[in-house]
Structure 1
Amino acid sequence: MRGLSGMVALALAAVPAVAVAEDQFRVLVIATPSTYHYEYIPIARDALERVARLHSFALDWTSDPARFDDDLAGFAAILFLNTPPERLDAGQRARFEAYMRAGGNAMVVHRAAIVPKDEWPWFEKLVGRRFVNHPKVQTGVVTVADPGFPASFGLPPRWIWSDEFYVTADPWRIAIDPVLRVDERSYDPTLIWPGQVGHRMGADHPLAWHHRYERGRVFVTLLGHQADMYRDERYLQHLLGGLFWTATGRGQLR
């Protein structure tokens, strides 16, 4: 019996330990509910955590802006996921600004690109555009403006998509590099609620872009209104590509 136990122990010792993948980087995700964006949170969290496990990076998920009271230096990127930026108080805003000035990186998704006018001009410059309004949710044709950017790798050149196609302005004269645009001929930009005026932006109507701000990288996508979009693998691939570049600076074909 002792001989058998010894042989089993020897055999187990000969089996190599199962390798545990180390996280390549850490991302802070802030997903704070707002009036029209709250149902997405459990779906998005489940989907993005699955993506993070698959690609060996770590997500620190929070809905509480108080997380910005802590040290942010260990995060390769901060992802604002439909979070109203104005929910951050003055101290939290200052810490995030310091994070970006120290070489931090940010990704902004859909509702998080909307800042009330004059509420936080610094963040509006980080986004790179000012939100004007949007027509009702419609189906349109999204086009790839930069096929060499990771956030477009999983998408066809022309992509049927349904969303709130945000209208934006550029009062700060911020240079951005468009990744996706929407073809305004494929939907009605003037289809809007009574009392509002729908606007056309013309051929240059960006929906996703990247640029540099302070000392960091910024990726913005205006897509993502419906909760079920986080079950769409193309949309998740779009987010993954943007997050990969934001956190690492890699993957872009020049």
Structure 2
Amino acid sequence: MIWALLALLGMLIPSASLADSQYKLLILSIPNKYHYEYIPVARDSLERLAKLHAFDFTWANRTDAFDGDLGQYAAVMFLNTPGEVLNPAQRAKFEAYMRAGGNAIVVHRAAITPPNDWVWYEKLVGRSFVNHPMLQTGVVTIADKGFPATFGLPDRWIWSDEFYVFTNPYDVAIDPVLKVDESSYDPTKIWPGQVARPMGRDHPVAWRHVYEKGRVFVTTLGHDVEMYRDPTYLAHLMGGLYWAATGQGEAASGQ
């Protein structure tokens, strides 16, 4: 009898798994030549983060998701998929979304877009890609300890990735979140026929800024499939996602 009563109560009382979602994301993830193996792993990890942190997302492997109502999403994540894949009408809709206060998250390959193909998107990213040296192990350092995408990260984080080289042709102001110490790897190590030059002491690998009327979080880390299983990387990604979607989580000045 007692078990039947408990079962009935269980049906009447909402469980944590049925709790209302705090916000909803649109995640665009389309396979490309160098980034496809990560997709099932990243999706599984994001599903676990969504359950843990009570948010929802729409996973899109086609751009027609941008034909619908973008206003339902707290943020749009370009996950290893740059905005260049959008057609002109979809680009216009995304621009209108950002001008209405929408937010964006740009991950790794999504920061690479052909120069002058869509200047508005280049400015949204905040930097223009030049090239990258071969994947190497380096030391990533924290540029902003009060930003959620750095919480839980060590001051000097040993990480292996493609440390992208950028320029700033449109003079976009960004707030660096993470930088890479170029003395910890060889920034000139690149494939025959190419030339890679150091960026020097100011080499951001993650940053945030405000664009149009929305928040933008960019992390250039996340090349390899195993990274999307790594708890430290996922904490970094979750912190940036959380801030972009809600505008919350920054530590008070002086903490």
Q: Which TM-score bucket, shorter chain as reference?
A: over 0.9
Distance 1:161 1:191 in 2: 17
The answer to whether the 8 Å contact 1:32/1:84 transfers is no
TM-score (norm 1): 0.94
Larger Rg belongs to: 1
* Structure 2 unaligned blocks of 5 or more: none
Q: Rate the CA distance shift 1:102–1:183 in 2: closer, same or farther, 3 A.
A: same
One-letter code aligned to 1:233: P
Partner SS for 1:37: coil
Residue 122 (structure 1) aligns with: 120
Deviation at 1:84, TM superposition (A): 2.7
* Structure 1 unaligned blocks of 5 or more: none
Residue 108 (structure 1) aligns with: 106
Q: Could you list the runs of 4 or more consecutive aligned residues of structure 1 that deviate by over 2 angstroms after TM superposition?
A: 7-16
Deviation at 1:59, TM superposition (A): 1.1
Deviation at 1:33, TM superposition (A): 1.1
1:51 equivalent to 2:56? Answer no
Percent identity, aligned pairs only, is 62
Within the candidate set 202, 212, 215, 1:214 is matched to: 212
One-letter code aligned to 2:116: D
1:169 equivalent to 2:167? Answer yes
* Aligned residue pair count: 249
The answer to whether the 8 Å contact 1:34/1:84 transfers is no
Deviation at 1:209, TM superposition (A): 0.3
Distance 1:54 1:183 in 2: 33
Residue 153 (structure 1) aligns with: 151
Q: Rate the CA distance shift 1:12–1:52 in 2: closer, same or farther, 3 A.
A: closer
1:234-245 mapped onto 2 (5 Å cutoff):
234-245=232-243
Q: Rate the CA distance shift 1:91–1:223 in 2: closer, same or farther, 3 A.
A: same
Partner SS for 2:152: coil
1:17 equivalent to 2:13? Answer yes
Per-residue deviation, residues 175-227 of structure 1 (Å, max 9, x unmatched) = 10000000000000000011111111100000000000000000000000001
One-letter code aligned to 1:88: L
Q: Rate the CA distance shift 1:252–1:11 in 2: closer, same or farther, 3 A.
A: closer
Instruction: Output the aligned Cα RMSD.
Output: 1.5
Per-residue deviation, residues 21-55 of structure 1 (Å, max 9, x unmatched) = 11000000000111100111001000111111111
Partner SS for 1:190: coil
Residue 93 (structure 2) aligns with: 95
Greater shift after overlay, 91-100 or 11-20? Answer: 11-20
Per-residue deviation, residues 210-245 of structure 1 (Å, max 9, x unmatched) = 000000000000000001100100000000000000
Within the candidate set 104, 129, 144, 1:131 is matched to: 129
Q: Rate the CA distance shift 1:13–1:142 in 2: closer, same or farther, 3 A.
A: closer
1:52-71 mapped onto 2 (5 Å cutoff):
52-71=50-69
TM-score (norm 2): 0.94
One-letter code aligned to 2:111: A
